[in-house]
Amino acid sequence: MKESYTIREMPADHKYPEMSYGNHGEGGQAIYQGESLIAYVWVHLTEHESTKGVKRTMEMEMIEVMEKEQGHGTAIITFLFQHFNLESMNGYILFEDNMRPYYFWSSLGAEMQADNEAEYWEMYEDGIDIYFDLHRNQVMKEMTLEVGA
């Protein structure tokens, strides 16, 4: 059985490792699985009133998972939705030659400005960041499909 995830604030003087996209700087939070540090996230929470009560949205400024291709990214996003009782998460994907961030957010059901690989590269060449919007119902639907598979 996997240990549960926790999120912890990092002290202002914390030294972040040199990351693949450069050092993002202070203000990050650490995601742990048990006592093992598995990721850093830089996020901003907002709340707004709706007819169904308070809705929480998270702006994902950046996520840096230490060990890629281990399933941690998907589990962390699910954890964040559950832990903060989020309605939605949004942000901009990073550009990589292998399109990993695009495929990652797409696999979770995120809606994106680029609908396909050609649009991804066109936006990249034009210097346009690709916005994503991920809703709770999509994340939970994808997790249900994954567990049921």
Report how far Cα 67 is from the mean position of its chain's Cα atoms: 15
pLDDT of residue 28: 79
Domains of the chain: 44-148 (3.40.630)
User: pTM of the entire structure?
Assistant: 0.81
pLDDT of residue 149: 44
**Torsion sign over Cα 9, 86, 95, 33:** positive
pLDDT of residue 122: 93
Distance, in Å, from the CA atom of 56 to the CA atom of 87, rounded to the nearest integer, reads 5
pLDDT of residue 87: 93
pLDDT of residue 25: 59
Give 10-residue mean pLDDT values along the chain (149 residues). Answer: 80 68 65 90 87 86 81 90 93 84 91 91 90 88 52
**Torsion sign over Cα 109, 113, 116, 122:** negative
Find out whether 42 and 28 touch, Cβ atoms under 8 Å. yes
